[in-house]
Homo-oligomer: A and B are copies of this chain.
């Protein structure tokens, strides 16, 4: 579904930053690894970082049946999921006009507990979200592990996408006074992979891991 479809997700200010493109929504979600998930607990906000997976217009979150947060989410509350990708630092001539370059998604919705029969498919989406292709290489998930996992889904039906990668826009009166301005771009790189033990040292690096590293060199 396209972003920006409710009064809550419509940008009142700086509307030039908002994107109504589904491709941007999917790209920010799929290119990143961690979401900050907000829920109301005893009237106060709680924000916790979580990994996630996407399948079509559904986002999945998961955790242990022993986790307080997961039990909170399993009660199907309203949640807000925020995913942010830092792209760089915009250094203007004034600190007032300085800021971040980023792409971000905010998702509003109700958590929906995933039923036992749909759990395996959701877990696959979660695994794909972290490391595409890994699921086929890894030791298969056991029934016990599945039972120990709570998965909740949220629809991508009420979302807002912001892309702020605009140029430095210092006002006329700040120019030609000897102040520097520019952009420091960021890039998340993967370092050298560290095999866990002797067995792993002797095995080839799995294709999913190699692809992940190659895409972040």
Which of B183, B187, B194 has a CB less than 8 Å from the CB of A185? Answer: B194
Which of B86, B186, B191, B192 has a CB less than 8 Å from the CB of A191? Answer: B186
Which of B64, B186, B213 has a CB less than 8 Å from the CB of A184? Answer: B213
Size bin of chain A's contact surface? 35 or more
Q: B residues within 8 A CB of A102?
A: 34, 49
Separation of A20 and B175 alpha carbons in the complex (Å): 48
Separation of A91 and B207 alpha carbons in the complex (Å): 12
**CB closest chain-B residue, reference A185:** B191
Q: B residues within 8 A CB of A96?
A: 141-142, 145, 149
A172 lies within 8 A of chain B by Cβ: no
A46 lies within 8 A of chain B by Cβ: yes
Is the CB–CB distance between B191 and A80 below 8 Å?
no
A174 lies within 8 A of chain B by Cβ: yes
Is the CB–CB distance between B40 and A44 below 8 Å?
yes
Q: B residues within 8 A CB of A174?
A: 139
A131 lies within 8 A of chain B by Cβ: yes
Q: B residues within 8 A CB of A98?
A: 127, 130-131, 134, 138
Is the CB–CB distance between A44 and B180 below 8 Å?
no
Separation of A45 and B43 alpha carbons in the complex (Å): 10
Q: B residues within 8 A CB of A46?
A: 38, 45, 80
Separation of A128 and B67 alpha carbons in the complex (Å): 36
Question: What are 18 inter-chain pairs, A to B, with CB distance below 8 A?
Answer: A13-B66, A34-B84, A34-B86, A34-B100, A38-B46, A45-B45, A47-B82, A51-B99, A88-B191, A91-B134, A92-B196, A94-B139, A95-B141, A100-B130, A137-B180, A181-B197, A185-B190, A187-B190
